[in-house]
Amino acid sequence: MNPLLILLIIPLLTIVGVALVNDVTKVRLVSAIGMSAQLVFAFILLYLFYQQRNAGNTDEMLFVSTTMWYESFNIQLKFGIDGISMAMIMLTAIVTFAGIFASWQVDHLPKEFFISLIILAGGVFGFFISLDLFTMFLFYEMAVIPMYLLIGLWGSGPKEYSAMKLTLMLMGGSALLLVGLLGIYFNSAPDGGRLTYDLTEIAKVNIPLDAQLFFFPFTFIGFGVLGALFPFHTWSPDGHASAPTAVSMLHAGVLMKLGGYGAFRVAMYLLPEAAHELAWIFIILTSISVVYGAFGAIWQKDLKYINAYSSVSHCGLVLFALLMMNETATTGAIMQMISHGLMTALFFALIGMIYGRTHTRIINEMGGLMKVIPFLSVIYVIAGLASLGLPGLSGFVAEMTIFVGAFQHTDMFHRVATIVAISSIVITAVYILRVVGTLLLGPITNSHYLELKDAQWFEKISGVTLVVAIAIIGLTPFWLSDLIREPLAQMIQTLTN
């Protein structure tokens, strides 16, 4: 059996398990065991992956299996992974694992909550292992739909409005995406022959230029909406602000990465000539995103809004780097996805934990938390330092790879866009240190905070897992960089020819 299927079977079994038990503790326990198993399996898969590569298997995709699903439209269940998807699977497994522990205290309909959460995660895993555009889209929708329920039922604040807004905007993106995907499908056999959804097959054919130019914006923007592409990012602040902790973590940590991943693997890789022709428009939009998000974050007062705008800035950098279309920048983009996924998940986890104690997310209403909840505060500082790109943590290596890659373009347009993007490192420092200074340092503003309790064991598991992952990437970046770079050499060649 294809080992990749286990990535889908474990969540499925966990859902069944959760459905069968009744008591809250057991629901938590089953979910935790399931997602721990998933994390362990992700590591085993990484080991198997290296084993194959070391044994000299140079196939583009490993663990490929194909099953015909719907003969008349040539829809297949085709699975397989390369280094990039491997890295994304690791990210998803880590964030999901941390997310389960961060939502340990959900007591309103816990069973339904954990089931929805695991369906979401399962959809993401399915997306990253799919090699067929149709099944990929299916898994994509599977990940987006539970979001509506999760925010609408377990959210806070104007949750119905936010849930509706987020779902509708993402659905709008899906609609564009569907047009794009169908466009690719109907042009997948320009010289006659069978139409196909198979990603690796389409990559080999030359889709006519006019079709590429027409469908590229649909596909790229369709994925871009999910990747918080300016100006289609406004679902993100409201959605995150209302979403429960684990949902924000999974959403910003993993789901937004589907956008960047899809924009590269589907939009750019399958429609390379259009990507070249139209890149300049999106380079402008994304370099705006990078500084715009950062400036937006400076003014916000709600922790979740700050982090949402910060995500707009960091995810903007991902798309920006992808559009640079060279090996180094693209490696950086994928590393930035991983790094941002871990960082932002950590931020949202911490924000949830702090909110659970102080019952506010407005930074000016809090102060001096370092003294009362040192563990959470120190982790918050580490997350902040990772976000502003401190060497030794993951953000630095990703950003530097992007900047060096982007600098390989010598023309004025790319140079200016790159310098605009690089300048965000200063603005990021401003808003991060502002939050750290107001929220954690200084005197304690509310005497009532003296009774707050520091992190509990499940919160520690959640936080420490993510910090360790961030530090490992930051301290030993070469393995991640190599893992990602390996499939890129060939992909970039397709893109540039």
d(Cα 13, Cα 207) in Å, to the nearest integer? 41
d(Cα 465, Cα 342) in Å, to the nearest integer? 10
Least distance to another protein from the beta carbon of 354, Å? 17
Considering beta carbons, is residue 124 or 417 the nearer one to another protein? 417
- Could you tell me whether strands 62-70 and 75-81 are parallel, antiparallel, or unpaired per DSSP bridges? antiparallel
Interaction of residue 461 with another protein, rule CB under 8 A:
no
Closest Cα to residue 237, out of 157, 328, 350, 137? 157
Among 69, 295, 355, 458, the residue binding another protein under the rule CB under 8 A is 295
- Beta-carbon-side half-sphere exposure of residue 375 (alpha carbons within 13 Å): 14
What DSSP element (H or E) covers 81?
strand 75-81
Considering beta carbons, is residue 193 or 443 the nearer one to another protein? 443
Considering beta carbons, is residue 26 or 53 the nearer one to another protein? 53
Interaction of residue 158 with another protein, rule CB under 8 A:
no
Least distance to another protein from the beta carbon of 405, Å? 7
Least distance to another protein from the beta carbon of 250, Å? 23
Chain residues 312-331 in contact with another protein, contact rule CB under 8 A = 327-328
Interaction of residue 50 with another protein, rule CB under 8 A:
no
**The pair of three-digit structure tokens given for residue 438, joined into one six-digit string:** 């107001």
Among 5, 61, 430, 472, the residue binding another protein under the rule CB under 8 A is 430
Among 158, 190, 356, 391, the residue binding another protein under the rule CB under 8 A is 391
Interaction of residue 423 with another protein, rule CB under 8 A:
yes
User: Which stretch in 85-93, 105-113, 132-140, 164-172 sits in contact with another protein by CB under 8 A?
Assistant: 164-172
d(Cα 196, Cα 170) in Å, to the nearest integer? 26
Helices of type H across 423-497: 424-435, 457-475, 477-496
Question: Residue 103: what residue type?
Answer: S
* CA 92 remoteness from chain centre: 8
Among 92, 289, 300, 358, the residue binding another protein under the rule CB under 8 A is 300
Among 38, 126, 481, 488, the residue binding another protein under the rule CB under 8 A is 481
Chain residues 9-28 in contact with another protein, contact rule CB under 8 A = none
d(Cα 343, Cα 320) in Å, to the nearest integer? 19
Interaction of residue 404 with another protein, rule CB under 8 A:
yes
CB atoms within 10 A of CB 92: 27
Identify whether the C-beta of residue 178 lies closer than 8 Å to the C-beta of residue 254.
Answer: no
Q: Is 190 exposed, middle or buried (0-12, 13-18, 19+ CB in 10 A)?
A: exposed
The site for another protein (CB under 8 A) is made up of 165, 168-169, 230-231, 233-235, 238, 292, 295-296, 298-300, 327-328, 368, 370-371, 385, 389-392, 396-397, 400-401, 403-405, 407-408, 410, 419, 422-423, 425-426, 429-430, 433-434, 437, 440-444, 477-478, 481-482, 485
